[in-house]
Structure 1
């Protein structure tokens, strides 16, 4: 039952985590947005839908929102929400939730894994052994994280989780954020360029969206330098991929560990097969434990809205 006491349907917008997909149907009347024939589907069922459950990979644009006259809530499976046309939702007073906090350890862990993999050339060394090259000579010496200086671009929940793990590896941490974060022990740098110039490695953990599109550009990469390493576990849109390829090709950047890309799942061909790059298929939060916790929080937000109660984790822009 919806907050107004009238029956309504939850629309699942694929792709969704399988457990969450099934759990929605176990509690509510449910429909799935089809890949084909959406206009006809929405004309037939749009007036039934009161809530949407989606993921970071599920686009919820203004056209979909406008086709659902009773829509009152969007529950997003993921901490980022650049997949949702937030302006369209706000204009209708639609509540929107996400899943912050529960994925911080997994994403931070993945950022550290990428940093170590690039600095210690773990993937290249694996290929060296797998291809039988070791008997012909030792693998070249690598860099290390201990004793280095690591910059974190975006010191929110995940950024702070990354920072504590970087410190545990024996590295120094500095950061840039939209504004200084009170109470943290790390040096604040006034811009992404200034941060990149001061550190050996740069880990990107900012939100996606128009405000951060292309934030890591050629100037930032040049400031990071020929021995620098870039790690991106944020959004592919944050990094200028053409500038990144150019910096790697010219030796102006030392390496990169990338979990996200601008046009996923398509990865620029120029990034493939390189020993100075480690690539992942957007799996930073992809652990069994984390995805279960994300699903539970998604469903708890949906249940709270259905009862007419405040959302557990509303997106800040929707709270007024």
Structure 2
């Protein structure tokens, strides 16, 4: 008999079908479906597949008496109650490394789009406006890039920045071994140094509003902030105020505090480029995350252990 798997996130029919070759799948991506699935079938569930945004609460873990493994599709797992899982002996695993390149590509795409003003130039061109009537947009070549969180995605972003001959700095809780980039112990200090910031740090309570009013204003009126991490890391109200008052130049956001609803206060700002939390999504990266989940599940069930435990 196949193990029962509860999937709490939206997935394509093809991906669900691939997973269903190995598990009895209960797909419950909405709140109502999730609650009903746990209430009606929670006693059979051995594995849960979720993601960092959707998470898995301690109360839900308690309602799944046979749960052995909780997997995040992707690297983030901030809303999975890891302490409650470990207290119950439930293994937590993620998809670290499966979509790093895709996220880094998207981050640099947002930086170029925001700094160069590509979306507004596209709109102007469609209206028949020629370049003589448009203010010149700055470039990114040779500028200073501060990376907030030099993890695996941050390192991929740094590699792309090096291709633009950018000076690279980073802010972590502590310096990272084996890298030559300039380290800043204080984020505001790095913002004062940098032309642009790319946020690639994990979400959660410890990083909530890490990028706040003082950091944004330190970046300055020609500065740009890009967020491909979690919406909670950037103070949305402070970001809106900084751009409206000219204290920050532009922003590129793939994530925001209001998601899945768009950040209403930013929608009329042409200096802001928005995408719908899709930085890590491409056919290649999504397939890699599904394959990693299957590897984690096989390893756990076979007794050799999950491939990428948290």
Deviations 1:196-234 (A, max 9, x none): 011000000000111111100111111111111000000
2:46 corresponds to 1:70: no
Contact kept? 2:188, 2:214, Cα under 8 Å = yes
Length, aligned pairs only:
309
- The residue that corresponds to 2:183 in the other structure is 188
Match of 1:233 among 210, 228, 232: 228
Where do residues 33-72 of structure 1 align in structure 2 (5 Å cutoff)?
Answer: 33=28, 35-36=31-32, 41-72=37-68
Q: Aligned pair in 2 of structure 1 residues 91, 16: CA closer, same or farther (>3 Å)? A: farther
SS for the counterpart of 2:293 is helix
Q: Aligned pair in 2 of structure 1 residues 20, 53: CA closer, same or farther (>3 Å)? A: farther
Matches of 2:283 and 2:3 in 1, distance apart? Answer: 31
1:168 is displaced (CA, Å) by: 0.4
SS for the counterpart of 2:32 is coil
**Alignment gaps of 5+ in structure 2:** none
- The residue that corresponds to 2:253 in the other structure is 258
Output the TM-score relative to the length of structure 2. Answer: 0.95
Range moving further from structure 2, 232-241 or 92-101 = 92-101
- The residue that corresponds to 1:95 in the other structure is 91
SS for the counterpart of 1:10 is strand
**Alignment gaps of 5+ in structure 1:** 2-6, 316-320
Range moving further from structure 2, 58-67 or 253-262 = 58-67
Matches of 1:86 and 1:203 in 2, distance apart? Answer: 27
2:174 corresponds to 1:179: yes
- The residue that corresponds to 1:107 in the other structure is 103
Where do residues 286-305 of structure 1 align in structure 2 (5 Å cutoff)?
Answer: 286-305=281-300
Deviations 1:152-174 (A, max 9, x none): 00001000100010010121101
> RMSD value over aligned CA atoms?
1.7
Matches of 1:39 and 1:124 in 2, distance apart? Answer: 43
1:191 is displaced (CA, Å) by: 1.1
Which structure has more RCO (C-alpha within 8 Å, separation ≥ 6)?
Answer: 1
2:231 corresponds to 1:221: no
2:259 corresponds to 1:273: no
Matches of 2:123 and 2:51 in 1, distance apart? Answer: 35
Contact kept? 1:199, 1:224, Cα under 8 Å = yes
Matches of 1:177 and 1:234 in 2, distance apart? Answer: 14
Output the TM-score relative to the length of structure 1. Answer: 0.92
Contact kept? 2:26, 2:37, Cα under 8 Å = no
Matches of 1:17 and 1:158 in 2, distance apart? Answer: 25
Match of 1:161 among 156, 159, 165: 156
Range moving further from structure 2, 26-35 or 304-313 = 26-35
Q: Aligned pair in 2 of structure 1 residues 299, 132: CA closer, same or farther (>3 Å)? A: same
Contact kept? 1:17, 1:291, Cα under 8 Å = no
1:82 is displaced (CA, Å) by: 1.6
SS for the counterpart of 2:174 is coil
SS for the counterpart of 1:27 is coil
1:63 is displaced (CA, Å) by: 1.9
Contact kept? 1:13, 1:58, Cα under 8 Å = yes
Where do residues 122-137 of structure 1 align in structure 2 (5 Å cutoff)?
Answer: 122-134=118-130, 137=132
Matches of 1:41 and 1:77 in 2, distance apart? Answer: 19
2:19 corresponds to 1:24: yes
